[in-house]
Chain A
């Protein structure tokens, strides 16, 4: 008796749950993995007539080598292909692309968005609107700029990775300052810091150019959403100190007459102290770095305390110079990727709000700063003297 009532209750309960769940059909968009075209990388270009060209890179999963003997169609050794379409908006371009694809374009997995120089010059906000609206998007994907057409970067064939999108992503993490869509949006809307994007270009392998590899060539700086200046690779080091995420990088210093020394900065950060000095904004910048010396072509003896100090001093000088260059450029071009304004706003919120927030761009050329660097050589390698030198 009791059981029967239980069973009836349970049946009713199950029925109710299933009916309600069908009404809430939020998940009723079933699609199998083999019905979707997974977009690995995306490119946005602006055509001469003002329309946008959307390029997508899609892996050809059937030729990726699985155990399945049945095998789909093979198209040579290509592991991906790139296609693009032009439309007044990106979504229109997407719709046009879809009409020649037998699988549904699936955007939830793109790892990088490449924007071409035209888009960068004319402003990236408009084409990026769809990224915040369309549900299939990752804010953690990286954004890069390229000097030419964005789609050329997708068409490059890097050797290590199967897809150039994957190669760009790995490169971003390894050699430059990563900027995700989220970072980009934040930098774009926060007063006191200007947007910057890493620049990647397709280059030929050297010395015989038989294939296109991808290389990180610098950092592009924007005012608002428009491109202002591209720093070369050797110049971007100064920006690194102001990032929360520090990628190790190398440079060379010349010791007067003894020969060059390679230095690898393992860790670095900057402490920026804003202050008001004689009515002007002044920044007191303290740089810290720990350096590894992987190579020296000079006969210097690092066991000698004074030599060691001298090397550290030279390194500090060099680093100061690099940051100094960037800050002077910032003043010159009135764009600041290092976020000095933001530091100031945190220290003097009221003053910032009343006086500088609106006209920071105009104030920027008038700021003064002073840089002190402190370098610690933490590692000079396994031997203290060169193996090639006598006196061991």
Chain B
């Protein structure tokens, strides 16, 4: 630190460039002499072929430079801006006048030091330094190529918006802003990463989200010291409560509507530049099992689907373990005919049930991984081979039994019913230890395993909120959005366990009117029926 403060006083020309990350340029002033600035920048960006330093003269012959990174700017618009300065406007060389009167650029700001200047330029702005000025201008004329907004691939829905986040943070925040057009939607900006200088936006609804929670999130992010943040996963693992738990304590989503809904529940969203995944905190386990579509579909259907997910979560966690336990310890638990079929199928199998189960489960995991990672053109070959490996051929070769294939298939299907991938991955991981303990101790072992898992989950916290809430600790009023998906007229309050500051979601007067209207229409119908009967 001492070295940096010392350096700040030294003139630009004599500065050493040994430590020259942005953070060390804090407070380094822009020189009055244009020559100093030019040589300093040229030294700093030597061997940087994409860095452009354009010298030009204002119309009144004052020297100036424009700096930008090729590829991050919109060339035409920068040309337009330079044209106004060089050709059209005959005016002052004062930076304030240029900003306010001369440059027809909507996003423009003044910076005092090199840190601000270079951060803007490296993010895609164009910097302009004019001779004799202590301040520089940054023009926000960005034009880097970005992917267009697509349907989110990881979280597809049948009913609901089809837009997903992209890698550009501004586009992402704008997508949420478009859903919540209120000044109370706050977006705090932070920069993390000494080398990457990644922009991070902490979004929350002022007046809804607990302010302590917002402070805690901001605090945890701003204290991160790391060289680069390449994906939101970095931030996730650096702010989560328990690094060693297999359970994800921070949820991510690529759907703007999910983010908006979470904000409305009083959660905090973390946007990370360069990642199409937005983090949501605090996270509870049940969030992982809810899809945005639950709230768009009819509530009966959503409730049934939720229970289906809970059931299949257990199935994907326990089926192989149960199969192993029952066939090696508890044969009396099966119906006789089923036991005979299993015995007949297993007759020629050389391995014990646990080995068989491990072979198949690992083969399945490998197939899944290969399917995700392989280029699309090879994908088909993998699925054909996969069907042979985890299927008929393996059974006919007498290596695995047919019931085991069924067990693995059910487990596979079940694990894909979880709407969020990271929850599914955790469950898939946990079923291996469960399988092994089941092969040693039977169902007793499975129960021990489940106890440890549930105990661990109950001890987890995400930003102070218990992981299993509102089930444990129980918060009865909030269960109607976990055990069932109550109709919207019943979901009049936000979940209370998050400590929200403004509870009501639906106006009480509307509800009264709504119920009255319902009653009236029923009465009317009854009256009409009476009249008809007469």
Contacts and interface: CB of A to CB of B under 8 A. Distances in A.
14 contacts: A3-B244, A27-B443, A32-B327, A33-B346, A34-B343, A38-B340, A38-B343, A40-B336, A61-B347, A67-B402, A69-B396, A69-B398, A72-B347, A136-B332
Interface size bracket, B side: 35 or more
Contacts of B397: 69-70
B344 A21 contact: no
Interface stretch (A43-51, A103-111, A282-290, A382-390): A103-111
Given A21-B444, A21-B445, A68-B347, A30 B329 contact: yes
A27 B347 contact: no
B336 A33 contact: no
Interface in A1-60: 3, 6-7, 10, 13-14, 17, 21, 24, 26-34, 36, 38, 40, 59
Contacts of B336: 38, 40, 109, 111
Contact of B344 (A13, A64, A111): A64
A69 B56 CA distance: 84
B32 interface: no
Interface string B380-417: 00000000000000011110011000000000000000
Contact of A109 (B243, B331, B353): B331
A106 B452 contact: no
Nearest to B439: A30
A67 B395 contact: yes
A61 B340 contact: yes
A34 to B, nearest CB: 5
A59 B340 CA distance: 8
Contacts of B402: 66-67
Best-buried of B331, B341, B443 by chain A (most CB within 10 Å): B331
B329 A29 contact: yes
A33 B342 contact: yes
B340 A21 contact: no
B140 interface: no
6 closest Cβ pairs, A-B complex: A70-B398, A108-B332, A70-B348, A68-B348, A27-B442, A64-B344
Contacts of B301: none
B192 to A, nearest CB: 21
Interface string B12-56: 000000000000000000000000000000000000000000000
A391 interface: no
A38 B349 contact: no
Contact of B448 (A7, A17, A38, A72): A17
A108 to B, nearest CB: 4
A299 interface: no
Given A33-B327, A65-B344, A21 B332 contact: no
A279 interface: no
Contacts of A7: 244
A17 B352 contact: no
Interface string B426-448: 00000000000001111111001
Contacts of A3: 242-244
Contacts of A32: 327-328, 346, 352-353
A27 B444 contact: yes
